[in-house]
Amino acid sequence: MSAAPRSGGERAQAQRENILDAAQACFIRFGFHAAGMAKIAETAGISPGLIYRYFDSKEAIILAIIERQLAEKRGNIAALQTRDQLAARIGDLFQRWQRRDEGVMNAALMLEMSAEATRDARIAAAVAAADGESRARFRAWLEAQARAQGIEPDPADIDARMLTLGAFIDGLSVRAARDPDLDPARVAAAVERLVPGLLDFRVA
């Protein structure tokens, strides 16, 4: 049985995602400034004029990528139930970064966005807002983990654990880019050694 035909809205959303995928790949490979709309259109397999039906500028594409990454983070945090799931998620992310999986934010794109945020106020505001929301959601998850262990979370303690985990995860994304041949088993062992301790709130 053939699949049901897509509605106009579904086709438009699929085309929009196709453009964002192409733009993300171009930004990673060429950087924001070298990746023009023509290059993005070529990568997406469409005409440059068609892009403007969905995005009126490259800045609009960047803002949409930021929002898409935030939506992914929301889903990832919402899906976390246990400490073991976080460790497994970090290990999975490292392997996807090594494969240069375009479906996840990698170090190159993260650095490009950070650099562009220093030049564009709208992008800076979007990056800050997305980071603030994801941090708030992760903080709430950590606080829930503490209470599940019978510990009332201390704000300073939560801050310290968030900072350490964030630096560790960001560092792994950079390491995946610099050392694509690093054995994922070594990374998994490091994650298993570090993360459970950071999520054990019975240890000050």
Instruction: Tell whether 46 is covered by a domain.
Output: yes
Instruction: Tell whether 45 is covered by a domain.
Output: yes
Q: Is the pLDDT of residue 69 over 90?
A: no
**Are 80 and 167 in the same domain?**
yes
pTM of this prediction?
0.78
Instruction: Tell whether 204 is covered by a domain.
Output: no
Instruction: Tell whether 139 is covered by a domain.
Output: yes
Residues 152, 149: Cα–Cα separation, whole Å: 9
* pLDDT for residue 70: 77
**Are 131 and 48 in the same domain?**
no
Instruction: Give the CATH number for residue 22.
Output: 1.10.10.60
Residues 175, 186: Cα–Cα separation, whole Å: 12
pLDDT tens column, 12-62: 899 999 999 999 888 888 888 888 999 999 999 999 899 999 999 999 998
* pLDDT for residue 6: 63
**Are 38 and 127 in the same domain?**
no
**Are 121 and 165 in the same domain?**
yes
Q: Is the pLDDT of residue 74 over 90?
A: no
Residues 204, 198: Cα–Cα separation, whole Å: 9
Q: Is the pLDDT of residue 90 over 50?
A: yes
Domain ranges, residue 6: 1-56
